[in-house]
Amino acid sequence: MNGKVNGAVETCRGQDKFVMSKRLENYLNFSHPMIAENFNPNECAWAYGMNIFDLEAWRKTNISLTYHHWVEENLKSGLSLWQLGTLPPGLIAFHGHVHVIDPFWHMLGLGYQENTSFAGAETAGVIHFNGRAKPWLEIAFPQLRPLWAKYINSSDKFITGCHIRTS
């Protein structure tokens, strides 16, 4: 990964303009001087749901301290530096430490995109049901549910007790 800490798929390039159009401006508050002075709003964001880490490279950085520093700054600012969630502080902490990997390794948007190809998802390295339409919910896209359901033990007491949909 050329000395980078985190291998991740960028989310600013691709056919799907909803999932694959994310830049730092989508997550960070650039009207706040601390953000505007340190980051470029047009810089590409990356997917936080599946990452490859080089732990030796990580140990040579201050990423953990950077993460905690920015979380503290966000608390001091009244939570005004970024949208709530885990992605924005991750984008900040790993800023400059990300090696872009092939989108094959992380197929995003299965919880957003009804038109996702089942065949395309079957060939992806990792599929990610980011978005609202999780495969176990009523609002899931029925044609994508088998991608998830084949791994569920429907006879498990917890699964039957929760009435999780697998078909």
CA distance 88 to 27: 6
Which range has the worst mean pLDDT, 15-19, 61-65, 83-87? 15-19
What mean pLDDT comes out for the span 119-138?
85
Q: Where do runs of H (alpha helix) occur along the chain?
A: 33-38, 55-59, 63-76, 87-93, 118-123, 145-149, 157-162
Would you state the torsion angle of the CA atoms of residues 114, 107, 125, 118, taken in this order, to the nearest 10 degrees? Answer: 10
* pLDDT at position 15: 67
What mean pLDDT comes out for the span 29-55?
95
Which range has the worst mean pLDDT, 13-22, 53-62, 98-107? 13-22
At 18, the pLDDT band (50, 70, 90 cuts) reads low
Cβ pair 167, 143 in contact under 8 A:
no
The residue written with tokens 């799907």 in the block is 16
Global pTM reads 0.81
* pLDDT at position 157: 87
According to DSSP, residue 15 is labeled S
Instruction: Work out the burial of residue 15: count CB atoms within 10 Å of its CB; fewer than 13 is exposed, 13-18 middle, 19 or more buried.
Output: exposed
